[in-house]
Amino acid sequence: MFRLKNLRKSTKSNLITFGIVIGFYLVIQLLSALGMLSSSLSGQLVPICAYVILAISLNLTVGILGELSLGHAGFMSVGAFSGTIVWTTLYGQVPNWLGLLLAFVVGGAVAGLFGFIVGVPVLRLSGDYLAIVTLAFGEIVKNVMNACYLGYDSKGIHFSFKDAASMGMEADGTTIINGAIGITGIKKGSTFILGIILVILTLVVILNLINSRAGRAIKSIRDNEIAARSVGINITKYKLMAFITSAVFAGIAGVLYSLNYSSLVAKKFDYNTSILILVFVVLGGIGNIRGSVIAAALLTVLPEMLRSLNDYRMLIYAIVLILVMIFSQSPQVVAWRKRMVEMFRGRFSKRPQAKEVQ
Amino acid sequence: MQFLSYLINGISLGSVYALIALGYTMVYGIAKMLNFAHGDVIMIGSYVVFFAFGSFGLNPVLSIVLSMVVCTILGVAIERVAYRPLREAPSLAVLITAIGMSYLLQQVAQLMWTSNAKSFPSVVANSSIFKPVSLFDGQLTISAETIVTILACVVIMVLLLYFINCTSAGHAMQAVSEDRGAAQLMGVNVNATISLTFAIGSALAAVAGALLCSSYPSLQPTTGAMPGIKAFVAAVFGGIGSIPGAFLGGILLGVIENLSKAYISTQLSDAIVFLVLIVVLLVKPTGLLGKKVNVKV
Amino acid sequence: MALLEVSNLGIAFGGLQAVAQLDLKIEKGHLYGLIGPNGAGKTTVFNMLTGVYTPTEGNIVLDGKDITGKSPDLISKAGVARTFQNIRLFNDMTVLDNVKVALHNQIRYNMWTGILRLPSYREKEHQMNREALRLLKIFDLDKEASLKASQLPYGKQRKLEIARALATNPKLLLLDEPAAGMNPNETEELMNTVRSVRDQFGIAILLIEHDMNFVMGICEEITVLDYGRVIAHGDGKAIRNNPKVIAAYLGGD
């Protein structure tokens, strides 16, 4: 039966992806038990999970919805800051598991809210405009968080954009965000197992979304917006759904990332970070979720292992980005590749023309 | 008086944005692509001036001409190698390639000249023609750089408008921008026209780079990135594809940036500039002087 | 009352009046042709009927409901489906998924049902697959269900577009040059398909076509447009003999 085969195919592919994640976890556990895990790699485990989540969620926007977002680090940043504030203020007052849960829920929700705020106006625009506005959003978040001072004392919450002193706090006040210095003294909340759980959660939500009615609607917008509207798809709704879901998981990844370190600065989440995530998505294959997982993990680990390559890392990424695009997207190159494949197969007989463009 | 000084400096900064925005807007109008690497061409051009004029003591005008030549070649080469194969590809692919190109230029610059900031010598510092002007009994001083920047921008703008409207190459550019297929059928060499657009845009970027670094004398591999993005904002602000729009958008953006630096917050000035972009796109997505584009069904 | 009643419909782009004073009445179950020389404004009429363009004057009433100027997705829900002159399929999606997208408003479940894979997810997905395969079978496309739409040959892409349009459960189907690029055999086959679709689904079909044999062969009623205005209306015979129509096609005055 065709029906069964089809369902089984997508499920099987998804199971392989989950298998890779769990396999990775088991291998790391084994290495760790054998004492073979280098300290540099073990320090990278949580960031790897965070980058994997970021790459999966960005792929939802870039690969499934077909819109380029250059502000993914911005969503990561608002998630990280809001989640970390929750974690830090609640630390010691509620059980740690509850504090963590709340931090992730708040981080994801705040990022999702920003996704909504940015998405509503912007998704009416197309392509290049969306890219530039998301880039602008990322820069705004970075600049605002960099100039933001937040604290509380017995009289309540204080806030300033100038400096710590102008918050006008009492002597007993506690500074939470200290401008460019950010948040310091964060208690470590993230662990590898937590990261893996979040990766799996992200995969479940996003893969299931893609293979559902809503996911098909999103893909149809990517393939042909005019046709999508003509078959009754409310494109604003589904664009927003994809964009907000993507932002929520970027926020969650931001919390995971920031709770792994003792301090959090806004500068970490800049344009370069957004591009780095985009590199993972492009190299893993646009629209290919499993590819994103593997690319994000490998490209986070490799430079650590090949320190000597570090100077050239971004140079190589840049070249690879260009080559991958030309090789996979240029009509002439694609046609040439097809011809080469035909030749290797030794089939010179003419094949049915796939498409005659009118 | 204070305000006037901020305003004039804003216009000067805006003139630089306008020059860069011209490159964006022409390329966008004709090749229908967002050339992310444009800002980094500026940076390369500035390094050329830095070495020619600063290190080898070449005449400033000659240095800028040399930089224009280098940038023109670079711009045309980038188009030929990276963008042309993707001309019929989805816009997402072109955009990602342009981002890759932007990164490539920055990384190459960093490997060649390190990421340390170089102190850029002003190209008009010892000029015998352009001197700082002092007005209102010395209450208001306008630097030579400011004067030259604004003058250069106006002159280039006039020349460019003349070129676009009164020469056959300019008409070809308008035709390609209007309808690439039809222009080709009418005998316009589309490839050559697009190359010419990249050439002009890149040459202007070289001028913009020299002027920018003369006013803000710190040169790094990332120097071009932020002004590049802001100039794109200016182009969108003015209406992408429109040359007077790029001029207007650039000047307005420079003024807004400088005034918010002076009166609101230095740290938040960039955020304000980008906020302006988002508001403009919300209220008038086609920008101040842009025209509406209809998609054929 | 007719299924579709268009009265005094017009649209101007800037100063150019592309379509003016158009009246159309399409009865339920009718096969209706809209013809005219190139640039007469036929596709523009389709674009107004489906909400891609907002008319500058006039009304469109479908089944007693005013749909003038509504957005394309709402008009699709109201019961108008279409195909496109230059095929617009969801190229990177499978043939099956192309049809399933169009079932969007027919078989529904919400986002959370999909994400959490609630029991109704499976049930609804099976229902969708059955329905989509049934439609594909009508067009002899069921064997290609798992191919990507872009991998289909040209003629099958045209058929898939019709199948997709039918999946939205329309009352009125608009076909924009369905026989373009087809050879006489394929055109003959398409004529039979269009007729059987009308009979099977009981819907009205409005089509634009340049192939006169096709139009004359299946349309019960024809309207001729020239320079955005109706110059003739009637059955095939009346149109064929109308001197205004002949003049418009031959370029005389």
Q: Give Cα separations from B42 to B67, B72, B194, B251 (angstroms).
A: 9, 11, 19, 18
The per-residue pLDDT for A349 is: 47
Contact B41, B74 (CB under 8 A): yes
- Asked if the Cβ–Cβ distance from A329 to B89 is below 8 Å, we say yes
The per-residue pLDDT for A6 is: 54
Return the biggest CA–CA distance within chain C. Answer: 67
Least Cα separation, residue A152 to chain C (angstroms): 38
The per-residue pLDDT for C63 is: 92
Residues 6 or more apart whose Cβ sits within 8 Å of residue B167: none
| Euclidean distance between CA atoms A15 and A26, whole angstroms | 16
Nearest to A216 among C97, C145, C157 (CB): C97
- Asked if the Cβ–Cβ distance from A326 to B285 is below 8 Å, we say no
Q: Write phi, then psi, for B172 (nearest 5 degrees).
A: -60, -40
- Asked if the Cβ–Cβ distance from A329 to B99 is below 8 Å, we say no
CATH of domain A19-305: 1.10.3470
Residues of B in contact with C47 (CB under 8 A): 297
Q: With respect to residue B24, please indicate whether it lies within any of the assigned structural domains.
A: yes
With cut-offs at 50, 70 and 90, classify the pLDDT of residue A79: very high
Question: Which residue in chain C is spatially nearest to A227 when comparing CA positions?
Answer: C88
Q: Tens of pLDDT along B210-254?
A: 888 888 888 889 888 889 888 988 888 888 888 889 999 999 999
Nearest to A231 among C107, C124, C164 (CB): C164
The per-residue pLDDT for C14 is: 79
Please provide the average confidence, as pLDDT, over all residues in chain B: 87
Higher-pLDDT residue of B35 and A155 is B35
* Helix residue ranges per DSSP H, chain B: 2-31, 38-49, 60-78, 91-113, 144-166, 168-178, 180-185, 190-215, 225-238, 243-263, 269-283
* Helix residue ranges per DSSP H, chain A: 2-33, 39-59, 72-90, 96-122, 127-146, 192-210, 213-223, 225-230, 235-258, 271-284, 289-305, 313-329, 331-345
Least Cα separation, residue B204 to chain C (angstroms): 35
Question: Any CB–CB contact under 8 A between C116 and chain A?
Answer: yes
Contact A74, A138 (CB under 8 A): yes
The per-residue pLDDT for A162 is: 79
The region of weakest confidence among A196-210, A215-229, B17-31, B124-138 is B124-138
List the 28-87 stretch of C: residues with Cβ below 8 A of B: 43, 47, 52, 84
The per-residue pLDDT for A242 is: 96
Rg (CA), chain C: 19
With cut-offs at 50, 70 and 90, classify the pLDDT of residue A355: very low
The per-residue pLDDT for A222 is: 93
Residues of A in contact with C107 (CB under 8 A): 213
CATH architecture, domain defined by C4-79+170-250: 3-Layer(aba) Sandwich (3.40)
With cut-offs at 50, 70 and 90, classify the pLDDT of residue B126: low
- Asked if the Cβ–Cβ distance from A322 to B104 is below 8 Å, we say yes
The per-residue pLDDT for B296 is: 57
| Euclidean distance between CA atoms A252 and B292, whole angstroms | 39
With cut-offs at 50, 70 and 90, classify the pLDDT of residue A5: low
Question: Any CB–CB contact under 8 A between C223 and chain B?
Answer: no
Q: With respect to residue B201, please indicate whether it lies within any of the assigned structural domains.
A: yes
The per-residue pLDDT for A133 is: 85
Residues of C in contact with A3 (CB under 8 A): 126, 129-130, 133
Question: Which residue in chain A is spatially nearest to B28 when comparing CA positions?
Answer: A128
The region of weakest confidence among A145-149, B133-137, B188-192, B218-222 is B133-137
Residues of B in contact with C84 (CB under 8 A): 297
Least Cα separation, residue C242 to chain A (angstroms): 31
Give the mean model confidence (pLDDT) for residues A297-325.
81
Q: With respect to residue B162, please indicate whether it lies within any of the assigned structural domains.
A: yes
Residues 6 or more apart whose Cβ sits within 8 Å of residue B115: B220, B221, B222
Question: Which residue in chain C is spatially nearest to B293 when comparing CA positions?
Answer: C13
Element at C127 (helix H, strand E): helix C119-138
- Structure tokens given for B77: 């080469």
Higher-pLDDT residue of A196 and A317 is A196
The region of weakest confidence among A312-316, B146-150, C152-156 is A312-316
Question: Which residue in chain A is spatially nearest to C142 when comparing CA positions?
Answer: A2
Residue A125 has pLDDT above 80, yes or no: no
Residues of B in contact with C43 (CB under 8 A): 297
The region of weakest confidence among B118-122, B207-211, C45-49 is B118-122
- Structure tokens given for C236: 């095939």
Q: Tens of pLDDT along B272-283?
A: 988 888 888 778
Residue A357 has pLDDT above 50, yes or no: no
| Total beta-carbon pairs less than 8 A apart between chain A and chain C | 133
| Euclidean distance between CA atoms B199 and B194, whole angstroms | 9
Neighbouring C-beta atoms of residue A96, cutoff 10 Å: 13
Q: Tens of pLDDT along A148-199?
A: 898 888 888 888 887 777 777 777 778 888 888 889 989 999 999 999 999 9
Question: Which residue in chain A is spatially nearest to B34 when comparing CA positions?
Answer: A128
| Euclidean distance between CA atoms B233 and B25, whole angstroms | 10
Least Cα separation, residue A80 to chain B (angstroms): 19
Nearest to A213 among C104, C142, C168 (CB): C104
- Asked if the Cβ–Cβ distance from B96 to A68 is below 8 Å, we say yes
- Asked if the Cβ–Cβ distance from C43 to B297 is below 8 Å, we say yes
Strand partners, C174: C82, C206
Q: Give Cα separations from B186 to A208, B163, B171, B190 (angstroms).
A: 51, 20, 12, 10
Nearest to A231 among C76, C110, C151 (CB): C76
Tally of domains within chain B: 1
The per-residue pLDDT for A84 is: 95
Q: Is B119 helix (H, G, I), strand (E, B) or coil?
A: strand
| Euclidean distance between CA atoms C46 and C208, whole angstroms | 9
| Euclidean distance between CA atoms C146 and A6, whole angstroms | 8
Task: Give partners of B (≥3 CB pairs < 8 A).
Answer: A, C
- Structure tokens given for B15: 């003139």
Instruction: Give the mutation candidate from A132, A224, A229, A334 for the B interface (greatest B CB count, under 10 A).
Output: A132
Give the mean model confidence (pLDDT) for residues B11-17.
92
- The structural domains of chain C, with segments of one domain joined by +, span 4-79+170-250
Question: Which residue in chain B is spatially nearest to C44 when comparing CA positions?
Answer: B297
Please provide the average confidence, as pLDDT, over all residues in chain A: 87
Q: Tens of pLDDT along C54-64?
A: 999 999 999 99
Residue (of C34, C37, C31) closest to C9 by Cα position: C34
Question: Which residue in chain B is spatially nearest to A136 when comparing CA positions?
Answer: B274
The per-residue pLDDT for B294 is: 52
- Structure tokens given for A180: 């460019």
Residue A350 has pLDDT above 60, yes or no: no
With cut-offs at 50, 70 and 90, classify the pLDDT of residue C35: very high
The per-residue pLDDT for A358 is: 36
Q: Tens of pLDDT along A20-45?
A: 999 999 999 999 888 888 887 888 89
Task: Give partners of A (≥3 CB pairs < 8 A).
Answer: B, C
- Structure tokens given for A84: 């970390």
Question: Which residue in chain A is spatially nearest to C46 when comparing CA positions?
Answer: A230
Higher-pLDDT residue of B2 and B9 is B9
Q: B55: which DSSP letter?
A: I
Burial of B65 (0-12, 13-18, 19+ CB in 10 A): middle
Percentage, residues of chain A above pLDDT 70: 91
Q: Write phi, then psi, for A25 (nearest 5 degrees).
A: -60, -45
Q: Tens of pLDDT along C185-208?
A: 888 988 999 999 999 999 999 999
| Euclidean distance between CA atoms A139 and B229, whole angstroms | 11
Residues 6 or more apart whose Cβ sits within 8 Å of residue B109: B40, B43, B44, B47, B221
Neighbouring C-beta atoms of residue B126, cutoff 10 Å: 9
Neighbouring C-beta atoms of residue A135, cutoff 10 Å: 25
Residue A245 has pLDDT above 50, yes or no: yes
- The structural domains of chain A, with segments of one domain joined by +, span 19-305, 311-358
Q: Tens of pLDDT along B90-120?
A: 888 888 899 899 989 999 999 999 888 888 8
Residue A356 has pLDDT above 60, yes or no: no
With cut-offs at 50, 70 and 90, classify the pLDDT of residue A7: low
B98: domain range?
11-222
Percentage, residues of chain C above pLDDT 70: 99
Decide if the complex's ipTM is over 0.90.
Answer: yes
Nearest to A121 among B107, B282, B297 (CB): B282
Least Cα separation, residue B296 to chain C (angstroms): 10
| Euclidean distance between CA atoms A252 and A21, whole angstroms | 18
Residue A345 has pLDDT above 90, yes or no: no
- Asked if the Cβ–Cβ distance from B96 to A66 is below 8 Å, we say no
